[in-house]
Amino acid sequence: MTPTLRPWQPDDVESLSRLGDNPNVARFMTDGFPSPYTPEKARAFITMANSNTPSAILAISLEGQAIGGIGIHPQSDIHRQNAELGYWLGEPFWGRGIMTEAIRQMVAYGFEHWPVNRIFARPYHTNIGSQRALEKAGFILEARLTGTILKNGEILDELIYAIRR
């Protein structure tokens, strides 16, 4: 099953709120990721995600159904040659290689649409699935920052993975 990346659509509200409203997904996201993920929050997110051209935040779609999200966030000032990659996938779709393929597609999209030379991602050390997906997509572990994240009362390490043009 090969995923496609596409803009978020208004009829993605149901799948976005259903798949996003999962503590197993939210525990690997920043605190900005809604939990609970209500339909109202899903509608607001879709509006925001579609506010830029080219779109930097896309739906991961499988057979026309939104099953997760992926975004590329170009940096500014002295970091302007870099972009941060962020993503999530609905739990029923974990472990199938879908995220690795979505990451590969987004990296190609990012290098095509923005003048960046490096795309990086910052998974928590506890998110082994994310680390493996990045590695399979060609990312290299650049750093481990010890004890830099506080998530749900737990101190976590932040890993920095990157791929270059």
pLDDT at 1 over 80: no
**Ramachandran region of residue 129, left (φ > 0), alpha (ψ -120 to 50) or beta?**
alpha
For 48-74, what is each residue's pLDDT tens digit? 999 988 999 999 999 999 999 999 999
Instruction: Locate 105 and state its tokens.
Output: 């597609």
- Spatial separation of the C-alpha atoms in residues 161 and 38, rounded to whole Å: 31
pLDDT at 163 over 90: yes
For 12-28, what is each residue's pLDDT tens digit? 999 999 999 999 999 99
Domain boundaries of the chain, sorted by first residue: 4-164
Domain covering 4-164 assigned CATH 3.30.499.10 in the classification: no
- Spatial separation of the C-alpha atoms in residues 4 and 102, rounded to whole Å: 7
Task: State residue 79's pLDDT score.
Answer: 97
